[in-house]
Amino acid sequence: MIQHFRNRFIVFSTCALILVIIPIIGGLSAITYFQSRREVNSVLTILVNNEGQMPRGQVKNQPAIIPQPHFTRESLSQYRFFSATIPDGKGPIRIDNQHILSVSPTEIKRLAQRVQGRQKGQGQVLYRQTVYAYKRKHGKGQTTIAFLDESLLMAKTWAIIYVGLLLGVISLVIYTTILILFSRRAIRPIIEAEHRQKEFITNAGHELKTPLTVIEANTEMQELTSGESELTTST
């Protein structure tokens, strides 16, 4: 019984910790992923608003209720991006590939034409095992499509999520190990109470057995000397 209670104590305590860890890690992971997606969207918005190029002057950060990354020309230079401007009529497609090395101008034109026919003005496209987020904007007789290499940014995000999950699992293992080692000490009052209960029952049994034995012996002696009667049978 004690071992069963100990096992239930360990299981319930571990489940309680899991219920605490899951919302914390899940919340942190969701916030990290959400902020990364907002950062990608913010960079693409700045690019399409400047015809797919890095702003020449001061970067205007859009006000938002939730704080978002503050961009400058220096901070934007860390991103790998390229853009294509497609005129509405017949005309050459203008390419800006100054901030990318792995995609040629020809491939940029193909990617731009590829996403030009999509219904969604924003999404993702896979090119040579690399995910590029894109955003399309139409204005002034032309369509500007900006592409952003989000692999490095999302890799950092997934690394944070992975570390959070790993730390959660390690914490759970350590907590469960400590709980197993010290669970007997935690339930010691219950063990002592059960021992006292068993001792009381044993002592009470011995105390009751002695007078019952005397009464039984006296009744048998009475029946031997005087014979069985209604009183001795009742006793």
Rounded to an integer, what distance in angstroms lies between the CA atom of residue 144 and that of residue 184?
69
pLDDT digit string, tens, across residues 159-187: 888 988 898 889 888 888 887 777 667 66
Find how far residue 142's CA is from the centre of its chain. Answer: 44
**Helix or strand run (H / E) with residue 134:** strand 130-139
Query: Of how many residues is the chain composed?
Result: 235
User: How much is the pLDDT for 227?
Assistant: 72
User: How much is the pLDDT for 57?
Assistant: 54
Find how far residue 132's CA is from the centre of its chain. Answer: 26
Please compute Rg for the chain using Cα positions. 40
List the chain residues with pLDDT less than 50.
63-66
User: How much is the pLDDT for 65?
Assistant: 41
Q: Enumerate the H helices of the chain as residue ranges.
A: 2-49, 73-76, 105-116, 151-186, 188-226, 230-234
- CA angle (146, 113, 103) in 5-degree steps: 60
Looking at residue 92, its amino acid is P
Rounded to an integer, what distance in angstroms lies between the CA atom of residue 14 and that of residue 143?
56
With a CB cutoff of 8 Å and minimum separation 6, the contacts of 100 are: 80, 81, 82, 149
User: How much is the pLDDT for 1?
Assistant: 60
Reading the block at residue 207, the tokens are 């105390």
Phi/psi class of residue 128: alpha, beta or left (left: φ > 0; alpha: ψ in -120 to 50)? left
User: How much is the pLDDT for 37?
Assistant: 85
In this structure, is the dihedral angle defined by the CA atoms of residues 198, 199, 200 and 203, taken in order, positive or negative? positive
Indicate the pTM of the whole model.
0.63
